[in-house]
Amino acid sequence: MKALALVGLHPWRTCRKSVDSVTEFLEGSLSPEDRTRVLTHLKVCPDCPRYFRQIELTIRLAREVPAETLPLPGRAALLDEFRDSHRPPDEEI
Amino acid sequence: MVDDMPMADDEAIESQGQPRPASLEDALLDGLRRGDEVAFESLIDRHTPAMLRLALFYVPSLAIAEEVVQETWLGVVRGLGSFEGRSSLRTWIFRILINKAKASGVAERRTLPLAAEGDGDAEAPSVDPSRFRGPPRGYWSSPPNYWDELPEDRLLAGETLAVIQRAMESLPAGQQAVFELRDLQQWTSAEVCKALGLSEGNQRVLLHRARTRVRSAIEEYFDAR
Ligand SMILES: [Zn+2]
């Protein structure tokens, strides 16, 4: 029983728990103890560091997706409104 | 703690931001004030996608979201004269959007509680559990493939970006709004929580789900090749 309790305190994190906490880790919202556990895990795990890098890379790539030019309905009307709002008042014409 | 402090809206949205590309916005604002239509159009193109995603967080359909965005731009045109530049142009525009979206959203309220939309499975694992071995150590049995080592031109190829775009578009509205604002627009978490009325924890769950799903889509795409 004692041994089991010690396993709970061991800084080891399973891969599954580590990947579940990647966002909390990147956000800096883990407790210092949990942060240490994740860092320790990342030092010894052959795969999780790649997963963490991939999450960061995913964010970077998503920023490269060109913003679609949306055919916003009413776009022409908006431009008219904009033009009108900058037309000099009648008396100045 | 800091997040709970009462703040005027302007300050809360403005104060904690990272450095932003202000010069482009300044140039656009100048253009707008001069009545430069090209500047106005480029502002529309620049912000409309994010505005639609954010509006969809409050209203139930794309058609209503488009109306909200449309009304927002009208509000921008009409309010430009009184905009004093105390907040950034973007902050000002998005504040108008959120007010209008909230106003429409009340009438059109979705049935789903928004904050609960971590897919309803906030506790669900990030990665298919079958990809891990059992305890005690639970290493990956099917580790992530090496797509991150592909050359930059493969990663940035149009086809890859299209996969990412589709993945983003298929996210539930809450995840989409948070991902858009946090990871694409680079708002701070305090700004996003405030704009969407989410707790820090809820926001983080939505962000986590979104990132996880988009990553998986990339992995699946390169797996299949
Ligand atoms: Zn691991």
User: Which residues numbered 35-74 in B keep a CB inside 8 Å of some CB on A?
Assistant: 35, 37, 40-41, 44-46, 48-50, 52, 66, 69-70, 73-74
Q: Maximum distance among all alpha carbons in chain B?
A: 67
DSSP assignment of B91-146 equals HHHHHHHHHHHHHHHHHT--SS-GGGTTTT-TTS-SS-GGGB--TTT--BSSPPPS
Show residues of chain A in contact with B69, CB under 8 Å: 72
CATH 1.10.10.10 for domain B112-225, yes or no, is: yes
Contact assignment for B52 to A70 by CB distance below 8 Å: yes
Identify the residue with better confidence: B12 or B91. Answer: B91
| Confidence at B11, pLDDT banded by 50, 70, 90 | very low
Structural contact between residues B154 and A29, judged by C-beta atoms closer than 8 angstroms: no
Q: Enumerate residues 6+ apart whose C-beta is below 8 A from B85.
A: B29
Mean pLDDT of all residues in chain B? 82
Q: Enumerate residues 6+ apart whose C-beta is below 8 A from A33.
A: none
Instruction: Please determine, for residue B184, whether its predicted confidence score (pLDDT) is greater than 60.
Output: yes
Task: Write the pLDDT tens digit of every residue in B66-103.
Answer: 999 999 999 999 999 889 888 888 888 988 998 899 88
| A27 class by beta-carbon count within 10 Å (0-12 exposed, 13-18 middle, 19+ buried) | middle
Looking at chain B, the domain(s) classified CATH 1.10.10.10 span 112-225
Identify the residue with better confidence: B100 or B23. Answer: B100
B150 in contact with chain A, both atoms CB, cutoff 8 A: no
Q: List residues, by chain if needed, whose CB lies under 5 Å from ion ligand 1.
A: A 15, 45, 48
Structural contact between residues B214 and A62, judged by C-beta atoms closer than 8 angstroms: yes
Task: Write the pLDDT tens digit of every residue in A33-69.
Answer: 999 999 999 999 999 999 999 999 999 999 998 776 5
Give the 3-state DSSP-derived string for B39-94, with helices as H, strands as E and coil as C: HHHHHHHHHHHHHHHHHHHHCCCHHHHHHHHHHHHHHHHHHHHHCCCCCCHHHHHH
Instruction: Please determine, for residue B119, whether its predicted confidence score (pLDDT) is greater than 80.
Output: no
Q: Enumerate residues 6+ apart whose C-beta is below 8 A from A73.
A: B66, B70
> CB-CB: which of A50, A79, A81 is closest to B148?
A50
Show residues of chain A in contact with B155, CB under 8 Å: 57, 61
Cis omega (within 30 of 0) for bond into A89: no
For the four alpha carbons of A71, A72, A78 and A80, in that order, the dihedral sign comes to positive
> CB-CB: which of B44, B184, B214 is closest to A72?
B44
State mean pLDDT over B150-178. 93
| Residue boundaries of the structural domains of chain A | 2-85
Looking at chain B, the domain(s) classified CATH 1.10.1740.10 span 1-111
Instruction: Please determine, for residue A11, whether its predicted confidence score (pLDDT) is greater than 80.
Output: no
For the four alpha carbons of B23, B66, B17 and B178, in that order, the dihedral sign comes to negative
Q: How far lies B33's CA from each of A79, B47, B84, in Å?
A: 14, 18, 12
Which CATH class for the B1-111 domain? mainly alpha
Instruction: Please determine, for residue A5, whether its predicted confidence score (pLDDT) is greater than 50.
Output: no
CA B92 to chain centre: 16
∠ Cα B174 B106 B72 (to 5°): 75
Give the range among B51-60, B104-113, B125-134, B162-171 with minimum mean pLDDT. B104-113
Residue with tokens 């059992």: B134
The percent of residues above 90 in pLDDT, for chain B, comes to: 40
Question: How far, in Å, CA of B133 to CA of B154, rounded?
Answer: 31
Instruction: Please determine, for residue A7, whether its predicted confidence score (pLDDT) is greater than 50.
Output: no
What was the pLDDT predicted at B95?
87
Question: How far, in Å, CA of B78 to CA of B91, rounded?
Answer: 16
> CB-CB: which of A51, A53, A65 is closest to B161?
A65
Q: Whole-model pTM?
A: 0.76
Contact assignment for A29 to B132 by CB distance below 8 Å: no
Show residues of chain A in contact with B37, CB under 8 Å: 79, 82-83
What was the pLDDT predicted at B24?
80
**For chains A and B, what is the number of CB pairs under 8 angstroms?**
132
